[in-house]
Amino acid sequence: MSSLPLAPTPPMGWNSWNTFGHNINEELIKGIADKFTELGLKDAGYEYVVIDDCWSERERGADGRLVPDKNKFPNGIKPVADYVHSKGLKFGIYSCAGTHTCAGFPGSFEHEYVDAATFAEWGVDYLKYDYCYKPVHVAGENLYKRMGMALRSCGRDIVFSACNWGVDDVYNWIRESGAQLYRSTGDIRDNWQSIKHIALSQLDKQCYSGTYCWNDMDMLVVGMCGKGDNAEVIDGMGKLAGCTDTEYKTHFALWAMMNSPLMIGCDIRRASEEALNILKNPDVIAINQDPEGRGPFCIRQWNNPDNVFALIKPLCGGDYAIGMYNLSDNPSEMSLQFFDIGLPTASGLALEFYNCHTKENEGKFTERRSVRVEPHDCYMYRCKVVKA
């Protein structure tokens, strides 16, 4: 095992659940790994290829170990992990703190150490650890600490992705469990309402996220466009899944600014050029991967505080990231007063704004910056403090 700590910045990769659900197999995972290189995702920083639920048989083997589904993974899991590694990528898998996974397959409850050893033997680099079917009278905090210790003693570096959905006061104990990231929300859906709800629910939780233990706001839905085995039909109103490119851009900008791991959930083999441009934007990714790992603070627009706000994040080297977001259904002004972020006019200084989406330098501003933000849209800037 390496002596270096894991996940110094939010992990980046791909997860099978959002699009494929239980329809996973060896060829799919190998094909996704191939596309990481072909599409430039590896060069953009994405490195984990993660199999979610439904990869195993319904029962453990006679030796008590998990058994890969013989139809989906006829050669087992290790050859798949080896193939992913051959592409210069890392491999992830899924289990659960309960007796069963959310889809009813064997969980790791009271099998933590043998499962951690099995994953290490297979070459696993990342474990997503869910929270379904946990015995009622067993503390989830203890179960995550148990798997955390099992992974740390298994002989291999394995990133621990805790997924307890933000319940049981997880913010107060997750860092000490040894987890490198923790899910703080319910499952995301491929619609604007879900993106908005999750983002707003985590605005006051940024103080709990930081280097080596990241607040995971769930996988990205960028590029799904209402397609996949897990596309949602909700409220009895027909299929409401899918977002516009503008909404996907804002989704990605929020997750990046709020230090969430960037785990792609779409079928990258069929992703549009616009979706790939959003996912590979180097300026937005750099803000997410900033080595200081500082969370942003929020300044709300005075006349629409529930939907329009700016996020301000100090970056390594003295720059600041500033995002301006309009989550409402109508155009709105976002007026950011520099006094409110620590830069009074009396300082004789200004902010120089570089637009991370247009790649243009928009000049220096003193005292305030006001922009009109279209519905569900955003601006994302990298700013320097300069002489006025």
CA–CA separation, 343 vs 337, rounded Å? Answer: 9
Question: Is 125 marked active-site?
Answer: no
CA–CA separation, 207 vs 196, rounded Å? Answer: 20
Choice among 130, 290, 319, 377 that is catalytic: 130
Q: Are strands 297-300 and 262-264 parallel, antiparallel or unpaired?
A: unpaired
CA–CA separation, 297 vs 282, rounded Å? Answer: 22
What are the tokens at 299?
A: 């300044």
Question: Is 115 marked active-site?
Answer: no
What are the tokens at 252?
A: 């990605």
> Distances from the Cα of 46 to the Cαs of 59, 124, 261, 262, 384, in angstroms?
33, 16, 10, 8, 27
For tokens 């993106």, what's the residue?
195
> Distances from the Cα of 142 to the Cαs of 167, 212, 362, in angstroms?
14, 20, 51
CA–CA separation, 88 vs 233, rounded Å? Answer: 38
- 96 touches 133 (CB < 8 A): yes
- The rounded radius of gyration (Å) of the Cα atoms in the chain is 21
> Distances from the Cα of 48 to the Cαs of 11, 257, 363, in angstroms?
8, 20, 38
Residue type, 33: A
DSSP string over 271-319: --HHHHHHHT-HHHHHHHT-TT-PPPEEEE-TTSTTTEEEEEEE-TTS-
The helix/strand/coil state of 88 is coil
Choice among 187, 229, 245, 283 that is catalytic: 187
What are the tokens at 279?
A: 């996912």
At CA 172, angle to CA 166 and CA 175, rounded to 5? Answer: 90
**Residues belonging to the active site:** 130, 187
